[in-house]
Chains A and B, each alone.
Chain A
Amino acid sequence: MSVISRGFGGRRGESDPRVPPGQYLTDSFPVLSAGPTPQVELDDWRLDITDVDGTRSAVTWPQLMGLPSEEITVDIHCVTTWSKLDTVWRGVSVDTLLAGAGSEADFAMVRSYGGYSTNLPLEDLLDGKAWVAFEYDGDELDPAHGGPARLLVPHLYLWKSAKWINGIELRVDDEPGFWETLGYHEYGDPWLEQRYSGD
């Protein structure tokens, strides 16, 4: 539907082809979360990885720090319509974390401290498309932005990049996570404007 709003001019800067439809550029880093920011001590931090057959393993903070990490420069897009270009993160590739697991899985449920979860097709987490990030812009990741560690899946809307990550559960079938149950899109491709269920 195209409804013209009389007298609206807008602030059109240079249109940047890296900004998906319906998004605008921001220099700040707004926050979207459903509850209080969990405070997680590094000594207690765990990332549980559960395979389809129920096999579990846990990564501790020192183990995460011991894995090869990468600097990642990516554009990020939040469903609340802001985008940020060239954000710089450091994290461990999900390929590294899942090495050896998940041969029969097609989906993943990612869980967080605080009880949130989000679902993704497993292939969206693999082949260098996703990381468990623990630094933003050269500093340790602020708790409000998901620290100590969050998932980073920059090609999907940012709610898929679960903050305060503490588990990846590999699955044969798909099931909606927290925001997806509350009406957000099951996949969340910003280029297709998949904001809400049914888009």
Chain B
Amino acid sequence: MTTTPVTEPSPRRRRSIQWHRARLQDSWMETRTARTLVFDVPGWPGHDAGQHVDVKLTADDGYSAQRSYSIASVPNSSRVELTVQAASGGEVSPYLVHDMRPGDELALRGPIGGWLRWIADLEEPVLLVAGGAGIVPLMAMLRQRNHAGSSAPFHLVYSARTPDHLFYANELHSIGQNVSGVIIDRLYSRSGLPDDPRPAGHLRPADIPEANSTAHGAPRVYVCGPSEFVEHATQILAGRGHLPAAVRTERFGPSGG
């Protein structure tokens, strides 16, 4: 592991962020209320792990609604994967989770966001802290790490309500078992597994590694989830010695998971 700091190139600059026509190609349920949607997006310029898109749904009379969704997949020309949690009573997410069928279309624009972003040139250790649907952009980083053959040490702390609310459960299990340099901790806030040594409950200081606990120096930290989760997690991170400048956050608003 080198100690030379890697200068982080700024996100590709382009004149404007274009709207694209996106067609639903494939999809599957991650949980009973969350779905991964795979879109074919001709002309997609590619993206970096952690970035998001703005999705616009338009009804046949022209009425439209727009929301942001993180990209779950690794960079690819023309394929964009999102994972959406249905918010009860929500306007956009229940359509994406329950109503949209393969072949249906929406407008999508991106990639957006240059801050919550990880690229494989970065070698320092990474700590990912996810609450609920906040796993989505952090999963893209983990996938990108493995896809690019990076050896950056990754530690994911993922808090979900119950084991039934875990996104990417099999994939995370397999990464945790088979990929060296990656630690995966799943925590449950409402109720966990019967043999879980950790009692269910919100994130606690003991769930978060201390800043000086890795052999390679303090990690770069990414936190994502509903606002209250991010607020709570960043306070714990500060108490565990993580400097504010090392912590990048994204708040999904009150309904993010």
Contacts and interface: CB of A to CB of B under 8 A. Distances in A.
Contact of B248 (A22, A28, A34): A34
Contacts of A199: 16-17
Given A30-B254, A183-B113, A198-B14, A4 B244 contact: no
A7 B59 CA distance: 7
Nearest to A82: B253
Contact of B115 (A6, A34, A82): A34
Q: How large is the interface on B (under 10, 10 to 19, 20 to 34, 35 or more residues)?
A: 35 or more
Interface string A155-199: 000000000000000000000000001110000000000011111
Nearest to B243: A36
A190 to B, nearest CB: 13
B104 interface: yes
Nearest to A114: B244
Contacts, number: 125
Q: How large is the interface on A (under 10, 10 to 19, 20 to 34, 35 or more residues)?
A: 35 or more
Contact of B95 (A2, A7, A22, A196): A7
Going nearest first, the 8 A-B pairs with the smallest beta carbon separation are A198-B16, A30-B253, A182-B114, A36-B234, A3-B107, A11-B91, A5-B57, A31-B227
B91 A183 contact: no
B63 A196 contact: no
Interface string B94-113: 01000111001111000011
B10 A181 contact: yes
Contacts of B95: 5, 7-8
Contacts of A1: 19-21, 107
B15 interface: yes
Given A30-B227, A144-B227, A4 B58 contact: yes
17 contacts: A1-B19, A2-B107, A5-B104, A10-B63, A10-B91, A24-B65, A24-B66, A28-B253, A31-B231, A32-B251, A33-B249, A35-B234, A35-B245, A36-B249, A38-B244, A81-B68, A197-B13
Given A37-B231, A182-B114, A183-B112, A2 B59 contact: no
B11 interface: yes
Interface string A69-92: 000000000001110000000000
Contact of B91 (A3, A24, A28, A144): A24
